[in-house]
Amino acid sequence: KIILPSYFAKSKRYMQQLYQDSMAIVREYEKPDLFITITCNPNWPKITNELLPNQKASDHPDLIIRVLN
């Protein structure tokens, strides 16, 4: 049997750790009033024009945030 560490992305322990972290935040700061998500098309010209060759939008979340501002 192989047990993956909690930092191994998408593993059960990783997801449990994320859950525990989020519950710790709720305990400290109470329940959030809003849960906001934003979606965009990574093929927008504003995004693709700023990428270097062989880069993907997912490589630069900072770029996507700047485009959405």
pLDDT tens digits for range 26-39: 999 998 888 888 88
Number of Cβ atoms within 10 Å of the Cβ of 47: 19
14 close to 8: Cβ distance less than 8 angstroms: yes
Asked whether residue 20 carries a pLDDT value surpassing 80, the answer given is yes
- Residue-level pLDDT at 19: 92
Q: Where are the domains of the chain?
A: 1-32, 37-69
Is the whole-model pTM more than 0.85?
A: no
| pLDDT, tens only, 42-59 | 899 988 998 999 999 888
CA 11, 19, 6, 2 dihedral sign is negative
